Amino acid sequence: MAKRPLSDYTQFQRVVSQARSIVALTGAGVSAESGIPVFRGAGGLWRTHRATDLATPTAFRANPALVWEFYHYRRDVAFNSQPNNAHKALAKYEKICKEQGRQFHVITQNVDGLHKRAGSENVLELHGSLDKVICTKCKQIEVNTENPICEALRGRGDPSKRDQDLPIIPLEELPKCSECQALVRPYIVWFGENLDPDVLDRSRQLIESCDLCLVIGTSSVVYPAAMFAPTVVERGKPVAEFNLNEDAFDDAFSFYFSGPCGVTLPKALGIDV
């Protein structure tokens, strides 16, 4: 099969400049350029555990201390990472759209909060956020950026250390709800759980009304996000894909840009970062 040609930046810039409502769907490939580990797929290990096995309600019920160590590590990495040029380009383009009376929204599968830290305001976080917790009893949701989130987790979570190196943290020393003092868990949509219906409904509304969709750093294999871009295609609207791996491109999309998103995205949007 012949290698497909890469899209013309000038042609894309004409399309994006005319779009009245743009949705950017982002995934782990964007955050990877900021040093955020990608846990999905081969090699997605934390210590000796598959990360996907820890991101479940069952795992948290069985061993909340272990799961909290894993998420303390993830919070520490995220909080100490910086938005890259892809995040910055999206935030700057949103501001341009706002000034021009156009709509620009980010729907992200990432939980690291880097879009908001880069300055994006219209962000829907499909899978939750590492800077929030939810009470297992009263269900209160709180923003918590303390690092460590509790003293017992200080110095814990290093993936190079084996589980048996340190004693298990007692339940009473794990993070607590400020309202009722019950155990809290990360505000993350785990495997086997449903997305927040309000976030999902709003995402679907945006997908069904946008006239341009950007797929950035994601293979979109997880439902329902996997259906977002195809829905835009079915409506006859253009989709542009930005991905490191050219082989992963979807033939149904109108534009495709290969390479680091922090390089291709600012160039495509005409943004100086």
Distance between CA atoms of residues 56 and 66, nearest Å: 12
The answer to the question of whether 117 is labelled as a binding residue is no
Distance between CA atoms of residues 224 and 126, nearest Å: 10
DSSP code for 183:
B
The answer to the question of whether 222 is labelled as a binding residue is no
The answer to the question of whether 84 is labelled as a binding residue is no
Distance between CA atoms of residues 34 and 268, nearest Å: 20
The answer to the question of whether 56 is labelled as a binding residue is no
The answer to the question of whether 63 is labelled as a binding residue is no
List of E strands, the chain: 21-26, 45-46, 49-50, 103-108, 123-125, 128-135, 141-143, 184-188, 212-216, 239-243, 255-258
Q: How far is CA 203 from CA 104, 124, 180, 232, in A?
A: 12, 7, 32, 12
The answer to the question of whether 77 is labelled as a binding residue is no
The answer to the question of whether 53 is labelled as a binding residue is no
Q: Is 127 a catalytic residue?
A: yes
Contact between 48 and 36 under an 8 Å Cβ cutoff? The reply is no
The answer to the question of whether 111 is labelled as a binding residue is yes
Contact between 72 and 148 under an 8 Å Cβ cutoff? The reply is yes
The answer to the question of whether 261 is labelled as a binding residue is yes
Out of 72, 105, 115, 127, pick the active-site residue: 127
The answer to the question of whether 194 is labelled as a binding residue is no
The answer to the question of whether 258 is labelled as a binding residue is no
41 φ/ψ angles, rounded to the nearest 5 degrees: 90, -170
SS3 of 143, please? strand
Binding residues: 71, 74, 109-112, 135, 138, 177, 180, 217-219, 243-245, 261
Q: Please enumerate, by residue number, every residue annotated as part of a binding site for substrate.
A: 71, 74
Residue ranges at the known binding site for NAD(+): 109-112, 217-219, 243-245, 261
Known binding residues for Zn(2+) = 135, 138, 177, 180
Supply the residues annotated as catalytic: 127
